[in-house]
Amino acid sequence: MRGREVLLALLAAAFLAVAFMQGATMSKRQVGDSPSNPFLPSPLDTQVFGQNRWLARSPVALKVATFDRQRQRPVRSQVEVRYRSEEGERRLFSGSTQGNGVADVQFQAPKKPGSYTLLIQVRSPIGQDEVEQTVQVEEAAQVLLTTDKPLYQPGQTMHLRALGLRKPDLQPAADLPLAFEVQDPKGNRVFRTVVPTSRFGIAAAEFPLAEEVNLGEYRIRALLGTGEEVPEEPEGALAQTMAVAERTVRVERYVLPKFKVTVETEKRFYLPAEMLRGTVSAAYFFGKPVQGQVEVRLSTFAAGWQELAELKGSLDGEGSWRFEARLPERFVGLPLEGGKALLRVEATVTDQAEHSERSSLLLPVSSDPIQIAVVPESPRLGPNLPMRLFVVTSYPDGTPARCRFKVRGKGPEQEFEAQGETDALGIGEATVKLAAVKAKPWPALGGPRRRPAPFVQMALPPEGSEGAPITVTVRATDERGQEGQVERHLSMSLGEEAVLLRV
């Protein structure tokens, strides 16, 4: 008797558990119940793959997959996609799945941003199903903010302009509110205005500076879609902030230059211990030559600018003064300049009204008048193959140099030579062919008191080696007899076989 009561209690508990699970499934799904048993879910299983955040007016792609949950196989189904909003429902897509049970759904996102309910209805021979998902439609744009100049004086007017483009089609962001904001160096907001964009997505504003203002960097921002009411718009034209652009300008007192100073030298680069000759010219902007004094300072950079010489003179009737100076025999090369040194020629001219203007010129200084770069066609040269070495020649100022060059190389148990010419762009090539270098085999396993282990000796490079070293020296000469030389260390693959692939 007691066993029967226990059995009935177990059956009741199992029934309640099944009923609870079925009720949970039904609460998720409005339609799709099995027609034979209302307590069982539909054998049709629907899965939707896609994003739940969309960009307004952008193309949207979803994948809808339908399966028979009992037989575990795809099902051909009819798919209809709609969205629901405060304005009602609208159909976005209607079609059918393919043989694999997947439908590629594509449609255009709504134009108005906000929250939408996506409805996906599926009908098939084994049942029907419906999926609901809340999606967010958002607007995005980009803004280009410009000013008429980067430097202002107190009392001048800043002319601000912004261009707004919608994403992703980059169409003009027309009829949207755009706010201009200006902050002074202390963080005070000194200007703000909201204007509507034109049909081309352009908005402009003007900000007059007072005579007495804080000097320094002013921060300017353009906010497209401000969430505020646009002036002169009867309906308000509300929008969210879609994009922000920012830039800084300087406000400081300055004096416009009264005349222009020009520094010219005979050459665009120099060698150590060479004679530097140049001319300083000065003229007013209305064309009259300047009469006054000139001061020229020569300096080089070595952990800071170091002065080499100071020259002084007077401008002649044409507003010019010639100078010359012997350069030092030693300079400090800079790694960022490819080993070349920098020479600064700075000229200061003071006219008869005691107004000074200055100008400077940077010149490279190199011990080699011809700069050479060697580029192999492969990081590692291959044996028994015609390998090309590209040679680039130029002067220290960077201009190409047409040269004749010779290549000499030395490697393990071999030497080679080649020659060629560079063209008007300073580019040439030479072809070399290297003999194979055999790697030393590793010693066989085993010791003197034991017989060698039955392993095959392999020709492998020693540990840490990346190939046989090759030293390549290139010497180039231009039409005027100026020479340059460079030495480059390369490597060659070990062994007797190699592969060369040219595309």
pLDDT in tens, 372-400: 999 888 777 777 778 888 999 999 988 99
Is the model's pLDDT at 445 over the cut of 90?
Answer: no
Taking the C-alpha atoms of residue 239 and residue 141, their distance in angstroms, rounded to an integer, is: 12
Task: Give residue 189's pLDDT.
Answer: 95
387 versus 13: the higher-pLDDT residue is 387
List helix spans (H) across 264-386. Answer: none
Taking the C-alpha atoms of residue 11 and residue 187, their distance in angstroms, rounded to an integer, is: 75
Taking the C-alpha atoms of residue 17 and residue 264, their distance in angstroms, rounded to an integer, is: 96
Instruction: Give the side-chain half-sphere CA count within 13 A for 62.
Output: 29
Confidence of residue 440 (pLDDT cuts 50, 70, 90): low
pLDDT tens digit string along 155-170? 999 999 999 998 888 8
Pair 393, 400: CB distance under 8 Å: yes
- In the predicted model, what is the mean pLDDT of residues 347-375? 91
pLDDT tens digit string along 32-75? 445 455 556 678 888 899 888 888 888 899 999 998 888 888 98
Task: Give residue 126's pLDDT.
Answer: 86
* Structural domains of the chain in order of their starting residue, each with its CATH number: 28-138 (2.60.40.1930), 141-251 (2.60.40.1930), 259-365 (2.60.40.1940), 371-440+465-492 (2.60.40.10)
Is residue 294 packed enough to be buried (19+ CB in 10 Å), middle (13-18) or exposed (0-12)?
A: buried
Best CA proximity match to 232, nearest among 164, 166, 175: 175
Task: Give residue 87's pLDDT.
Answer: 82
Taking the C-alpha atoms of residue 371 and residue 376, their distance in angstroms, rounded to an integer, is: 17
Phi, psi (rounded to 5 degrees) for 5: -65, -40
Task: Give residue 12's pLDDT.
Answer: 40
Is the model's pLDDT at 190 over the cut of 80?
Answer: yes
Taking the C-alpha atoms of residue 221 and residue 183, their distance in angstroms, rounded to an integer, is: 9
Taking the C-alpha atoms of residue 460 and residue 439, their distance in angstroms, rounded to an integer, is: 6
Can you name the residues that pair with 355 across neighbouring β-strands? Answer: none
Pair 178, 165: CB distance under 8 Å: no
* Positive or negative: CA dihedral 91, 95, 101, 106: negative
68 versus 26: the higher-pLDDT residue is 68
Place of tokens 């085999």: 441
Task: Give residue 497's pLDDT.
Answer: 63
Is the model's pLDDT at 91 over the cut of 60?
Answer: yes
Best CA proximity match to 74, nearest among 119, 120, 126: 126
Helix (H, G, I), strand (E, B) or coil at 2: helix
Cα diameter, the chain: 133
Task: Give residue 99's pLDDT.
Answer: 85
One DSSP character per residue, 351-388 reads ETTS-EEEEEEEEEE-S-SSEEEEEESSSSB-BTSEEE
